[in-house]
Amino acid sequence: MEQRSRWADIAGDDAGERYAARFARLAESGADTHGEARLCAGLLPPGARVLDAGCGTGRVAIRLAELGYDCVGVDLDASMLEVARRAAPELPWILADLSDLSDLGDLGGSAERAVPGERRGQGERFDMVVAAGNVIPLLAPGTEARTVAGLAALLRPGGLLVSGFGLDAAHLPLASATVTLDDYDAWCRASGLAPLRRLATWDGAPYDGGGYAVSVHVRTPSGRGSER
C-alpha cells in the first residue's frame, strides 16, 4: 500500500482551524500574508485560470480571486477545505490527492461551482498551477515525480507551474529536507516544463543558494522540458 503523505503524518484532525488561526494572527500583527498571490499576479493578467494545488485553507486562491483570477482549489486535507469553503463558498474547492488527478475530469465544472449550469470543457487547461506552502516536500514519498507530471498535464502550452518549498529543516515542518532543486528540476523537465525563474522568496528576491526557493517553470509547446 502506498505511503501516506508527509503532511498527513504531521497534521492533526483540526489542521485547518490551527492553520487559519496562525495566519490570522500574522495578519493582525501587520505581517504580509499575500506574497504568494502577489507574485503570481505579477506573472499573468487578471482573468487567467489558476489551480491552487495543495490549497489548504484557500489563502492564495481567495486572494487571487479577489484580484480577478479564475481560481480552483484542490487539497487532500478535508479540515483545510472546510475552512476554505466557509471563507469563500463561491469558489470551487475539490478534495483530491495531487498524486492522482486522473479522475478530476472537468475541474472548472465542479458541482461546487457557484454559477449554476456553468461548465467548462474537459480539454480546457490552466494558465497557472501554484503549489505554495511546502506542497512538494510534504507529498507521500515516491509520488513526487508523478505529482509534478500530473500538474504539468493540467497546464496549457505556455502555462506556468509556480512552486515554493523549503530545502532544509529550518524551512520545513520536518526533521530534514525531502526534495532537492536538482530533483525538482528533473521532474519538471521530464514533464515538459522548462525553467523560467528562480527566487529566494515570494517577494521576488533573487535565489542565492539558501534554504528556500520559489521556482517558476513554463510548459513548452512541444511538451518537452529544457535540457538546461
**Confidence check: pLDDT of 101 > 90:** no
Q: Tens of pLDDT along 182-226?
A: 999 999 999 999 999 999 999 999 999 999 999 999 999 876 655
Rounded (5°) CA angle 90-85-132: 100
- Residue 148 confidence (pLDDT): 98
Higher local confidence (pLDDT), 68 or 33: 68
- Residue 228 confidence (pLDDT): 43
**Confidence check: pLDDT of 110 > 70:** no
Mean pLDDT, range 93-118, rounded to an integer: 60
Higher local confidence (pLDDT), 29 or 20: 29
Q: Tens of pLDDT along 122-134?
A: 456 999 999 998 9
**DSSP calls for 56-97:** TTSHHHHHHHHTT-EEEEEES-HHHHHHHHHH-TTS-EEE--
Measured between alpha carbons, how far is 62 from 55 in angstroms, rounded to an integer? 10
Q: Which residue has the cell 467548462?
A: 120
| Predicted structure pTM score | 0.84
Q: Tens of pLDDT along 45-100?
A: 999 999 999 999 999 999 999 999 999 999 999 999 999 999 999 999 999 999 99
- Residue 215 confidence (pLDDT): 98
Higher local confidence (pLDDT), 166 or 108: 166
**How large is the C-alpha radius of gyration of the chain?**
16
Q: Tens of pLDDT along 135-194?
A: 999 999 999 999 999 999 999 999 999 999 999 999 998 888 999 999 999 999 999 999
- CA nearest neighbour of 150 among 219, 47, 198: 219
**Confidence check: pLDDT of 120 > 70:** no
Max intra-chain CA distance, the chain: 48
